Amino acid sequence: MVLCAALLAEFCLGATTIPVSVVADALLSFDPDNYDHYVVLYQRLPRVLIALHAGALMACGGLVLQGLTRNPLASPTTMGINAGAMLFVLAGAYFLNLGIDGRGAAALLGGMFGFATCLGVARLAGLVQDQGGLALILSGALTSMLLFGIANAILLTDPTRRTDFLGWVSGNINHVYADQLFRIWWIGLAALALLCVLARPLTLIMLGTDKAASAGVNVRWVRCLALLAVVLAASSSVAVCGPLGFVGLVVPHIVRPFAGADLTRSLPGAALVGATACLLADLIARHAFLPAVVHTGLVLDLVGGVVFALIVRRYYLTAGRRASG
Amino acid sequence: MRCERAIDGRPVLRFTSGLEIGLGNLAAVAVLTVAAVVLTTLSLTVGFADTRVTDLAAAWHDGQDYELQFALLNVRLPRIVLGFMAGWCLALTGAMLQSLSQNPLADPGLLGLSQGSMVTILLLLLFVPSAPLGLIPVAAVVGGLAVVALLVWLMGGSTDGNSGLTLLLMGIAVDTMLSSVSSILILYAPPEISFAVSAWLAGSLFQASWGSIAALVPWFTLSLPAILLLGRAMRCYDLGDDTAMALGVPVTWSKPLILFVAVLLTSAAVTAVGPLVFLGVMAPHLAGFLSRSAGRARLVLSALTGGLLVVAADTLVRATTSDLALPLGLSLTLIGVPLFILTLRLRALATLRSE
């Protein structure tokens, strides 16, 4: 319901408000001479599609990561995947002059690199066995900081191209990125499909690796495939509209109380809620701060930071108090 | 004054009043000071206008080459002095916070204190544009204190079972929130302000001038008596609040006082150069490698190292990338993260060994 309302609002609201009937007309029988129709089809529709794509992928990625690492703070953002993908896309565009086609590949490589770095740092810090996996998140945050720093340095090397990427780097849902979406969408969809296929064995793994193994699940393979799918999903979303932070962190916490631990049910739920969250964030970004239009990533960071702090407080502090007292 | 051996076998200078100063620490201070002087000279010669050390002396005495003299006196020297003082303040704060929270990873930048100051300064600039410039430091202090209060509230006074990582993550969360708030605030600023502010948000020494130095000097001088008066308590806080109280430290008012001084110094440094992350972690640990110390000696050594680090980073950036204007905050992050990870690694090894 909320998704439908948000969809409608996204179509209708804007610099000019367009009535619902006109929107329906534009989608069903497009008239190239009508300005309103043009706006709906070439500006608002791409935005909606991008928001749906990014939101669904990030949310599902976060859900699976949180399940696999048993860590309420895990998400593509907090584990360095987004930052890695962003850095590689940027480096590819600056140093190798990669076109749009190369971007997807660069993002995938980068996502894997970021994830591997995060795990490597956590291992190096020797805190992998650390209870609750805080060290993993900390090393993810450090990795992201470092990669973002390098990305910023790369941006500064060429001021003329800087403006092209400035919006993208902070994560922005914008109709300009539509052609990237049309080249890359199938990667994200494939990743999502893979996750749906794996949903049943993954649910079993979350119950415990021993139980899953005794139920006939090849734990190693399923885990690797699922992680790969998550990295694919997150990086394809980054390749389109830049690192949208914290959808992957927040949405699973919203979905879990309603859908339970069963991934076959919670994955579609997460996808829906994630898409809605992105649409809403985009709406807020464009309308709440008038006359300025904010990047969507900023709004998500703001919300995400609050939720992050609350999760830390709820899961780690109260648990610690219970254990000690 | 005699040379003796302390209880742990290290040589110390003992004064008649009973004051002990470790020889190792004295040597470290001497080394750092010499390094600072050498680095300053080196740093003066690096830049767009190519100069050699001999030119410097000549320019100083003759006063003929006005262009060079201008570059030295009004561009490079303020940069170095300001960088050193800001680094000094931030490193000192880092050392204080680490003792106080018994968390070797505490840092004013990572915990969001710097961002808190930035946000309040931005608010002041945007909504009360007619406010006198003297109010800016006040706003910075208020912001820093607000973040401290927020962190204390969020942590709920709980004892930290996760070796301080929780506090750090909480700080990073607060930092993320505040930095997106300040990015949004910048959008509202008129273009000419927002351009200047975004350079400052990244942490830079571009705007260094004798005026900004004069604004920082009072705080810098304040840090000296603070080291003398508060340094002794630090040694006790390293052992934990309860032990500190048992050793006769008036915890109830000395802890807030130290926090207040720490916030004061951070916000002064932030007002001058913008947020510099990781300096507060790096400097005390590097100083610790140089010479083991506690209390006052640790504060002095950390502060010196901090100042030195900033000047070194700035010199390095100017020397290697002359056409690329890399902000100081960025270069410190690039250097700082690997060092921070190294610190984590060393800590892990230490705990492994002790088990």
Query: In terms of pLDDT, which residue wins out, A297 or B160?
Result: A297
Structure confidence at residue A321 (pLDDT): 47
Q: Do A305 and B168 touch (CB under 8 A)?
A: no
Alpha carbon distance B219, B85 (integer Å) = 9
CA distance A52 to chain B (A): 23
Structure-block tokens of residue A223: 């885990």
Is the CATH number of domain A2-11+67-316 1.10.3470.10?
yes
Report the pLDDT averaged over residues A260-278.
Answer: 77
Is the separation of the CB atoms in B274 and B200 below 8 Å? yes
Q: Do A153 and B330 touch (CB under 8 A)?
A: yes
ipTM score of the complex?
0.70
Q: What percentage of chain B carries pLDDT values higher than 70? A: 78
Of B161, B180, B338, the CB nearest to A301: B180
Res A15 pLDDT > 50? no
Is the separation of the CB atoms in A270 and A255 below 8 Å? yes
The pLDDT tens digits of the residues spanning A180-204 come to: 667 777 777 777 777 777 777 777 7
Report the pLDDT averaged over residues B267-292.
Answer: 80
Q: Do A320 and B180 touch (CB under 8 A)?
A: no
> Residue A291: is the preceding peptide bond cis (ω within 30°)?
yes
Banded pLDDT at A325 (limits 50, 70, 90): very low
| Domains of chain B with CATH codes | 39-350 (1.10.3470.10)
Q: Across A93-102, A156-165, B242-251, which has the greatest mean pLDDT? A: B242-251
Neighbours of B75 (CB within 10 A): 15
CA distance B165 to chain A (A): 7
Query: In terms of pLDDT, which residue wins out, B132 or B296?
Result: B296
The pLDDT tens digits of the residues spanning B29-73 come to: 788 788 877 877 777 776 655 555 566 666 656 656 666 666 667
Report the pLDDT averaged over residues B170-184.
Answer: 81
Res A320 pLDDT > 50? no
Q: Which residues of B fall within a CB distance of 8 Å from A121?
A: 341, 344
Of B159, B326, B340, the CB nearest to A324: B159
Whether A126 has its CB under 8 Å from any CB of chain B: the answer is yes
State residue B14 phi and psi, 5-degree precision. -110, 125
Helices (H), B159-294: 165-188, 191-201, 210-237, 241-246, 251-273, 279-290
The pLDDT tens digits of the residues spanning B205-238 come to: 766 677 777 777 888 888 888 887 777 777 777 7
> Average pLDDT, whole number, for chain B?
76
- Comparing CA positions, the residue from A321, A297, A288 lying closest to residue A54 is A297
Helices (H) and strands (E) in chain B, counts: 14, 3
Query: In terms of pLDDT, which residue wins out, A325 or A255?
Result: A255
Banded pLDDT at A40 (limits 50, 70, 90): low
Instruction: Judge residue B355's burial from the number of C-beta atoms within 10 Å of its C-beta, 0-12 exposed, 13-18 middle, 19 or more buried.
Output: exposed
A 152-211: CB under 8 A from B? 152-153, 156-157, 170
Q: What is the pTM of this model?
A: 0.76
